[in-house]
């Protein structure tokens, strides 16, 4: 899978709808970049720097140099969130490629073993309770059947 370039975005600041590549031109944002709803990404590396766009310097007609900062994701404790649609498109792709991981996988990896063990134990206790209930029910039914059997009054279906 690659970046879905037909995906439509909607800026949360100016409400304008735009497509992949048209990340700039925001009327509400000083930097001119559109902003989308915040999304969190996960890495199996707790401290991870992912840079995909280098800083670049442009020179305009008046020979003024302007540096456009590159784009990077700085993961802290394995998490990074962004409202930048361009970053999201890139990071979505990285997640699909397996460079980044899903939230589910992240939780599996980084939930402390102690917490995981406690959760598991709680589940076991719950199932034990259910088994006890079922056993009681079975015993009840067997008792009913036994007493019914003596009377020989097994109901016949019509
Ligand atoms: Zn906008």
Identify the pLDDT of residue 100. 95
Q: How far, in Å, CA of 8 to CA of 19, rounded?
A: 5
Is residue 42 pLDDT above 70, yes or no? Answer: yes
Ligand 1 centroid to Cα of residue 87, in Å, is: 15
Distance from the CA of 2 to the center of ligand 1, in angstroms? 24
Q: Which residue has the tokens 């899903």?
A: 102
Q: How far is the CA of 136 from the centre of ligand 1 (A)?
A: 63
What is the distance in A from the centroid of ligand 1 to the CA of 33? 6
pLDDT computed for residue 56 by the predictor:
86
Ligand 1 centroid–CA 73 distance in Å is 21
Q: 118 CA to middle of ligand 1, Å?
A: 46
Q: What is the pLDDT of residue 134?
A: 93
Q: What is the mean pLDDT of residues 17-23?
A: 91
Q: Which residues are registered as beta bridge partners of 33? A: 24
- Report pLDDT digits (tens) over 96-127: 999 999 999 999 898 888 888 888 899 999 99
Res 111: pLDDT: 85
Q: How much is the pLDDT for 50?
A: 87
pLDDT of residue 70: 85
CA of 92 to the centre of ligand 1 (A): 20
Tell me, in angstroms, the distance from the centre of ligand 1 to residue 10's CA: 8
Question: What tens digit of pLDDT does each residue of 52-89 get?
Answer: 888 888 888 889 888 888 889 999 999 999 999 999 99
Tell me what pLDDT residue 79 has: 96
pLDDT at 2: 66
Q: What is the pLDDT of residue 45?
A: 92
Beta strands in 1-153 (DSSP E): 8-10, 17-19, 39-42, 48-53, 56-59, 65-68, 71-75, 79-82
CA of 133 to the centre of ligand 1 (A): 58
d(CA 153, CA 85): 74
Q: pLDDT per residue over 124-142, tens digit each?
A: 999 999 999 999 999 999 9
Distance CA 9, CA 22 (A): 10
């Amino acid at each position: 899978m690659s970046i879905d370039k037909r995906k439509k975005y909607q800026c949360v600041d100016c409400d304008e709808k735009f497509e992949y590549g048209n990340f700039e031109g925001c009327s509400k944002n000083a930097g001119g970049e559109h902003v989308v709803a915040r999304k969190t990404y996960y890495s199996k590396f707790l401290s991870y720097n992912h840079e995909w766009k280098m800083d670049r310097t442009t020179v305009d007609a008046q020979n003024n140099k302007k540096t456009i900062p590159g784009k990077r994701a700085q993961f802290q404790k394995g998490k990074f969130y962004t409202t930048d649609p361009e970053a999201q498109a890139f990071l979505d792709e990285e997640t699909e490629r397996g460079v980044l991981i899903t939230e589910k996988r992240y939780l599996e990896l980084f939930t402390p073993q102690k917490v995981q063990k406690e959760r598991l134990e709680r589940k076991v206790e719950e199932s034990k309770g259910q088994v006890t209930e079922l056993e009681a029910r079975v015993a009840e039914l067997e008792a009913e059947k036994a007493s019914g059997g003596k009377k020989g009054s097994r109901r016949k279906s019509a």
